[in-house]
Amino acid sequence: MKSPQHQRGAAILLAMIIVTLVATLAVSMIWQQWRAVQVETAERSRSQSAWILSGALDWAGLILKEDARPNTAPVDHLGEPWAVPLAEARLSTFLAADKDNTDDAPDAFLSGSITDAQSRFNLRNLMVEGKNELSVPDVAILRRLCENVNVSVNVADVLANGFKEAYTPPGSPGASTNPPLPPKRIAQLTWLGVDPQALARLEPHIVLLPERTTVNINTASREVIASAIPKLNVGDAERLVQYRQRTPFKNEQEIQAQLTGMTPEELAGVSFNSRFFEVRGRLRLSDRVLEQRSLVQRSQRVITVLSSERINSNDRGR
């Protein structure tokens, strides 16, 4: 028979084991509860951010719709309300009835912008509409654009050949046996063999739209204008950019007045209004950033969202 001292020692040891097990279970339960709260908080924050950015997209659509009123001039330029970016502002200033009582509001900031997608060269123009062949004049435009942004003209040939392979239906004459996937975004042009550094220089001046488009001379950069109009150099294009800041172009005659000897055929690649726009919304919540990029089409006063993507990032150090 064990002595009372041994029995007391066993009881103390058993009690310590029980306390350890209880503490372990309690810590595990607390951790699981904390984790569930974190997941729920993150999901709620994501849903709220997505809702806010969707509202920002609707707001942009209203601005573009208002710009297309029948009594307004059918000209799109950088002096219109849609072209003014929304500077980063604290979200509570939009929501609070009392602008001075926002101390308890979430530390969230909203910014955004609307960009004319037709201010850039549309790579869809490289293919002749309805045919499985390249558009020679548009390949020449892309080659001139490469020269204007200090990129090798070979990049234009790589893009043109890549588009022909990607968009020629299988079984058609000249179709590739192993064609690349058709790119949906500018970043995916590397699939066609374009060097990332060359693509970074071209990216501000090119776009992928669902149909053939012209370049809006009232919003395009001088490099794009000089590429879209044959025989035009960057210096002449800069002169057009300076002129449009005072008076946006409304017709071909106004351009011809600035460019002596320019024929209507040479101005076929430019226009004065736009149907495609890129809407960007950016929500900064603490050290997290959610950005939404949407491509919209405006047909008269109807706004259609063609594509949309959301990007999460960390904002530390900015």
Instruction: Note the pLDDT tens digit of each residue in 74-102.
Output: 899 999 999 999 888 887 665 555 555 55
Distance (Å, whole) CA 82 – CA 114: 6
Distance (Å, whole) CA 229 – CA 217: 10
What is the average pLDDT across 284-302? 86
Question: How many Cβ atoms are within 10 Å of 254's Cβ, its own excluded?
Answer: 15
Contact, 159 vs 150, CB < 8 A? no
**What percent of the chain has a predicted confidence (pLDDT) above 90?**
46
The domains located in the chain, with CATH, are: 42-118+275-314 (3.30.1300.30), 119-271 (no CATH)
Instruction: Note the pLDDT tens digit of each residue in 45-79.
Output: 666 677 778 878 888 899 999 888 876 668 999 99
Distance (Å, whole) CA 178 – CA 159: 16
> Which residue in the block uniquely carries the two structure tokens 């699981």?
32
Pick from 101-115, 187-201, 284-298: least confident: 101-115
> Which residue in the block uniquely carries the two structure tokens 């029980």?
18
What's the residue count for the chain?
318
Instruction: Note the pLDDT tens digit of each residue in 133-158.
Output: 899 999 999 999 999 999 999 999 99
Instruction: Note the pLDDT tens digit of each residue in 295-306.
Output: 999 988 899 999
Instruction: Note the pLDDT tens digit of each residue in 46-55.
Output: 666 777 788 7
- Tokens at residue 212, please? 């053939």
pLDDT band at 318 (very low <50, low <70, confident <90, very high): very low
Compute the half-sphere exposure of residue 112: CA atoms within 13 Å on the CB side of its CA. 26
Task: Report which of 84, 86, 80 is spatially closest to residue 67, judged by C-alpha positions.
Answer: 80
